[in-house]
Amino acid sequence: MNQKEIENVISLEPIERYNYFIKKVADWEIFYTLLNESGEYALSELKDKKLFPMWSAREFAELCKVSGWETYTVKELKLDDLENEIIDFIADQNCLINVFPIYNRTGFVVSLIEFSKDLSEELKNYS
The domain segmentation of the chain, as residue ranges, is 3-126
CA 77, CA 34: separation in Å to the nearest integer? Answer: 10
59-75 pLDDT, tens digit each: 999 999 998 899 999 99
Is-contact 30 57, C-beta < 8 A? Answer: no
Across the range 76-92, mean pLDDT stands at 95
- Give me the pLDDT at residue 1, please: 81
96-123 per-position pLDDT tens digit: 999 999 998 999 999 999 999 999 999 9
pTM of the model: 0.93
Structure confidence at residue 27 (pLDDT):
95
| Domain spanning 3-126: CATH superfamily | Uncharacterised protein PF11572, DUF3234 (3.40.1350.90)
**CA-CA distance, 69 to 37, in Å (whole number)?**
10
**pLDDT at site 41:** 96
